Amino acid sequence: MADFDPILVAHDGDIYTVTLNRPDKLNALNRAAWQDLANAFAGLNRLESVRCIVVRGAGGKAFSAGADISEFATQRSNVEQAAVYGNIVEVAMGTIIEGLHPTIALIEGACVGGGLEIACACDIRICSESSRFGIPVNRLGLTMAYAELRALLSVVTAPVAKEILFSGELFGAERAADMGLVNRVVADDRVEQEAYDLATRVGEGAPLVNRWHKKFIRRLVDPVALSDEEVRESYEAFGTEDFRRGYRAFLDKRDPDFEGD
């Protein structure tokens, strides 16, 4: 993709990277960025070859500073415009949350507002010691829509979400870890390596199993009782070739080589 695109997609083997690419704006999210993010993940979700996706911000100074407020006057100036814009955001979030593949947010610097929403949509969050977090929307006089709140509440408890939203304050990496907002806090000069080491380890696992676990965990948040078909699906792994590869490799005391079938 071209350097001026707000979202970049690259890969090293079966590990893919999605980069929020507006470093001059601290990767603030405008309408084009949300739309391109949705398109990028929609494309990746169709690729069976993907084993893990790392999401990060360009430039090293910010994962994302949140919404690009400069476009509010033209894109989000009233209820009708906000609803249209919100649908674009919801679609983008859905492509991450409901996507096939495991996702890791590699967080450096500011991770605020919509940036934090994207990080929460990912399955795992690894941040640098100097990272800063917050959702100061009450300072802007606007609300997070249900789809955006759902992502936050999938990571932290309701009381923690309320503290983040009601206070509007920015807080550091250790506080984020205490809240359960991030999985790991790593030294600034080690965070990239840590995230990609984990992505590699994820990618070495059976891809169908990782996809099933992502789906099952998301489904269990829904209070509706599981159907017989859904319960049966939780045993489908035992009918795959990767299952046979896995247990045979274990018995042979060697590393498995999974192929995704």
Residues 92 and 214 in one domain: no
For position 204, what pLDDT does the model report?
A: 96
Q: According to the model, what pLDDT value does residue 260 have? A: 86
Could you tell me if 9 and 17 are in contact, meaning their C-beta atoms sit under 8 angstroms apart? yes
In this structure, what CATH number is given to the domain that contains residue 220? 1.10.12.10
Output the pLDDT for position 216: 95
Q: Domain check: are 243 and 170 in the same one? A: no
CATH of the domain at 142: 3.90.226.10
Domain extent at residue 213: 206-251
Same domain, 180 and 115: yes
User: Which stretches in the chain have pLDDT values below 70?
Assistant: 1-4
Residues 166 and 238 in one domain: no
Q: For the residues of 159-214, what is the DSSP string, one character each?
A: HHHHHHHHH---EEHHHHHHHTS-SEEE-TTTHHHHHHHHHHHHHHS-HHHHHHHH
Over residues 239-253, the pLDDT tens digits come to 999 899 999 989 999
Residues 91 and 83: their CA atoms lie apart, in Å, by: 12
**What 3-state DSSP class applies to 259?**
coil
DSSP reduced 3-state for 15: strand
3-state secondary structure of 18: strand
Nearest to 96 by CA among 22, 40, 33: 40
Could you give the CA distance from residue 221 to residue 217 in angstroms, rounded to a whole number? 7
Q: What is the pLDDT of residue 2?
A: 41
Same domain for 157 and 135: yes
Asked if residue 2 belongs to a domain, the reply is no
> Are both 24 and 150 inside the same structural domain?
yes
Looking at residue 228, its pLDDT comes to 94
